[in-house]
Structure 1
């Protein structure tokens, strides 16, 4: 009984006994790819002086965010694949939950900072050096990581003392499904959760859409060279935003419809949240951003 009060069972794997080593190999390769691809671009931005601009610093922060998010999930997955029992302590589960969604929401705030940077660069180019100073960039980065962390720590501290009526999660890591463990969900906790969703997801997304609408308006009134430059720098940000928004939406829907979704489908949908963006982001920024792509080609040419 003491074990049940301390540990949770992660019951989201499909035929783990049969495919244990296949799962381990695939996830291990994916994790190495995520670490190497994201770290390579972060290294290029750090090394080359011409990439020490706000836009590229925000890109480096976004990719570093993906590395942290993956490291929060993948090592535990790898251990579970080789373990007889897939369990996690309640406190570790809360930590994984808080870290996961704090980093996901940090991504929205970083994308909002990128949108503001592009807005100033394209719509107010003469004021750019005075508006996007090093101090401004540091403030944006600090807020992007600190705000979600503080808000989710507050949520976790409330949840930590609530009574559990279930000790089994039908997922492979601790996500929104953790809400189904508690006996009672108070109105205050629900309100706080909605506040976080509006504050860290809805507001940044609306701000980004508004900002890019202004950019598009300016581009429509400008010459072809301005439109080309804007498309080259803004398109990757928009694609990453769309991808992140739909993945978070899928995550929320999956938890709400959990009982109606087959186990294999639920597993695939759950993996999307930690798979697509960490692999998708370095490809988008490495290939679509001209300056990063140039240094990336030089790096590969040097080593080949």
Structure 2
């Protein structure tokens, strides 16, 4: 059954004239028009302030993490290598959307080339999947460190860490490749207007004037099977970790051991919960105001990159100590 194009249900919110759109053929569109946040156009300048602030914090925080780990030999271990991988994915995810978003808010630069739109979509989805895989690897690292600490250095060698990273990257690259290829083959008609600040997959393919069941089913399969399996493995790892922690003889030992994985738990929650709300709102929240859906779709890509370095900086003693040492050296 053919899906109703998304713009038909929100056409009254679009600030563009669409009187002639029914006679316009966009079968091979050269550009798309990104509206920003429909319904809040008058407040784009003010909305840009928190988004720009979050992006600045994400850039500064993640580059700081990378610099500290690189310059501190005592941090050259699996946990911190995974943390650096997480920082890189955070930088790519936030940079994939914020510069274009700010150009819409500040300079009304709403056009985006069709190929650039699909490229942006690919980078967002693939690095999101890569980051999910890195969180699984970090959960495995914490499981080995707590449940089998004597073998941690022999199980997670530098070679094994590199292989895990390669597998995670290849998984993200290969599984997301069908998204832009399928989106490119669909015929687009009536409009090339995307009611969002970036080329979100579902917002793009819903502009097609054909049955997009293949794209829809594939994206749902990736969401439920791949992301679902990642969440399952993380849950299993932390179930075993918590069992090991609660079996420790003293409260002090339990708190100290739990502190070594507390930051990772916070990062997991900051990553998956906003994405869950955004996905549910996008697919099933048709009664939710459009601008709230667009804001949620942006927040799940911006909040984790901002929070991750803050969480690890505050909860990881070695990083905090090194950061204080750097500031102390600059002051003296």
TM norm structure 2 = 0.84
Judge conservation of contact 2:37–2:295 (CA < 8 Å) in 1: no
Does residue 106 of structure 2 align to residue 79 of structure 1?
Answer: no
Does residue 251 of structure 2 align to residue 209 of structure 1?
Answer: no
Which of the two has higher C-alpha Rg? 2
Matches within 5 A, 1:28-177: 28-165=52-189, 166-175=191-200, 176-177=202-203
How many Å apart are 1:90 and its aligned residue? 2.0
Does residue 266 of structure 2 align to residue 239 of structure 1?
Answer: yes
For 1:194 and 1:261, how far apart are their aligned partners in 2? 21
**1:183 equivalent among 206, 209, 219:** 209
**DSSP-derived class of the 1:5 partner:** coil
**DSSP-derived class of the 1:249 partner:** helix
Judge conservation of contact 1:69–1:100 (CA < 8 Å) in 2: yes
**DSSP-derived class of the 1:196 partner:** helix
Query: How many equivalent pairs are there?
Result: 304
For 2:242 and 2:284, how far apart are their aligned partners in 1? 38
Does residue 35 of structure 2 align to residue 8 of structure 1?
Answer: no
Task: Answer with 156-165 or 110-119: which moved more.
Answer: 156-165
**DSSP-derived class of the 2:29 partner:** helix
**DSSP-derived class of the 1:181 partner:** coil
How many Å apart are 1:78 and its aligned residue? 2.0
Cα deviation, 1:168-213, whole Å, max 9, x if unaligned, reads: 2111111132231222345443332233223431111100000110
Task: Answer with 120-129 or 202-211: which moved more.
Answer: 120-129
Distance change >3 Å, CA 2–CA 182, structure 1 → 2: closer
For 1:110 and 1:134, how far apart are their aligned partners in 2? 15
TM norm structure 1 = 0.91
Judge conservation of contact 1:108–1:200 (CA < 8 Å) in 2: no
Matches within 5 A, 1:210-289: 210-224=236-250, 226-257=253-284, 259-289=286-316
Higher share in helix:
1
Unmatched segments (≥5 aa) in structure 1:
none
Residue in structure 1 matched with residue 12 of structure 2 by the alignment: none
> What is the RMSD computed on CA atoms of the aligned residues?
2.2
**Structure with greater contact order relative to length (CA < 8 Å, sep ≥ 6):** 2
Judge conservation of contact 1:109–1:200 (CA < 8 Å) in 2: no
